[in-house]
Structure 1
């Protein structure tokens, strides 16, 4: 990576605490960590729709009650939306059909998350899934190491569906520090045979409580070697929590990012990050 540019593309009124996003067909599908709606934003018309993900949908849900949707991934015409697993009521995965524009099923991932914790030696209080990717054969889960143990872990699940038999691999990473605070994974996206990830430094040793934001980085993991190719600081102030591919050429990738301001204000800024490839 040689250079990058970061700019605000637009603001969306009506979405707060944005925690993940998917770009498809000039629309953004956005989740919030204190809401149980899926938001659909049409970039041409600026139209915003809300799709209920539960029988009693709400926004600005109390912290102790929220499903904490922190990860969203797309495969074919299905969106998969995941709770972080950081508390017992945050273990849901929702499948949402894009063709029908409706929720198909809600799955309980408590058993899978428990297996992951045991396999990767992650204590329950250090478990916090913030990024997930799926390529049809594998699921990649990123645990955010913002607990005391700093467990930034990539968990690779080899299975077409998460209710089938699977094999599991775990790789731990020591991410860079910003102002003396270790960064931790906040989202990621698959690009060819690599994972591009975001990580944020937040001055808190808790997967539950928020802290002072000290900045964010982008980096890349090579899926053949499972090693980090590069990391680069992209902001001294933003807590970026969502990453999706907007456009790609041989020499450049454009990503769209969303930011979680840890507030109850229903407004979200969407950023464009342009990365030049070597």
Structure 2
């Protein structure tokens, strides 16, 4: 049985609807699903800076984009010195991929519409149930995590054997059964890679829509074998939090530590980062 501990790591003003995060050294990168900025938070000094990743002459609009227009950036993952920011694909305006080079600060934007349209028929997931909430890039292939909060509850992992996600020619889909709360299935909200395992978070939310929010019933931390894509375990960590981002932080003794971010589904520009300790 895995033991877990959940504590507040940082409280940050100026970031809303946090949906993905990545930590490197003393810098914490955070993306919001309704923002045109990548946030950089210095853990030691608590200084917050914003990197504009979408074009607009109205900086106010970029800070809190209306729901029908937002890019829905639900994914912040990395490989080596590049951060990848992905839209969920749950509507036609949510198909962007942004690459940010941590060394050169170069920003590249591409459209994932063709790739997302390739994935749907191969998995029998329709537009209404397609909702990418997590991604892992190994350097050789991509793993995309579909959140099964639509009417069909189709949780699963797309495995794409390409170095460039925009060049996808084929994929395999692996359905994953996740634990439920009060008969409401939990669904993927993010994932990260550590050694030979995938660590994911999932939330049980009382809704059958990828667009509309519902009552939060609880969240889980779990592990999936990276080779077999079989579930190792899932453990409930909260009864009322909707965690949407996870990043490996460090190991300590016989435990592994992750940082989590939470989407409060409000327009308030404030976010709390949590540290989750999981016994190995």
Superposed pair shares fold, TM > 0.5: yes
Residue from 66, 89, 95 that aligns with 1:91: 95
Q: What's 1:45 paired with?
A: 45
Q: CA-to-partner distance for each residue in 1:141-185, whole Å, 9 max, x for gaps? A: 000000000010100111111233554221001211112211000
Which residue of 1 is the match for residue 190 of structure 2?
187
For 1:14-163, what aligned pairs fall within 5 Å after superposition?
14-56=14-56, 57=59, 58-103=62-107, 105-163=108-166
CA contact (8 A) 1:187 1:242 kept: yes
**Other-structure match for 2:234:** 231
Q: Structure 1: where are the runs of 5+ without partners?
A: none
Partner of 2:175: 172
Question: What are structure 2's unaligned runs of at least 5 residues?
Answer: none
1:263 aligns with: 266
Residues 258 and 269, structure 1, Cα contact 8 Å, conserved in 2? yes
**Equivalents in 2 of 1:16, 1:136: separation in Å?**
31
Q: 1:212 to 1:165 in 2, by over 3 A?
A: closer
Q: Residues of 2 paired with 1:119 and 1:78: CA distance?
A: 29
Give the counterpart of 1:196 among 196, 199, 208: 199
Moved over 3 A (4+): 163-167
User: Alpha carbon RMSD of aligned pairs, Å?
Assistant: 1.2
Per the alignment, in what secondary structure is the counterpart of residue 183 of structure 1?
A: strand
TM-score, length of structure 2 as denominator length: 0.96
Give aligned pairs, total.
Answer: 276
- 1:13 maps to which residue? 13
TM-score between the two structures when normalised by the length of structure 1 = 0.97
CA distance in 1, matches of 2:166, 2:267: 35
More displaced, 247-256 or 26-35?
247-256
Q: Which residue pairs with 1:243 in the alignment?
A: 246
Contact 1:137 1:160 in 2 (8 A): yes
Contact 1:67 1:83 (8 Å CA) reproduced: yes
> In structure 2, how many angstroms separate the alpha carbons of the residues matched to 1:68 and 1:77?
23
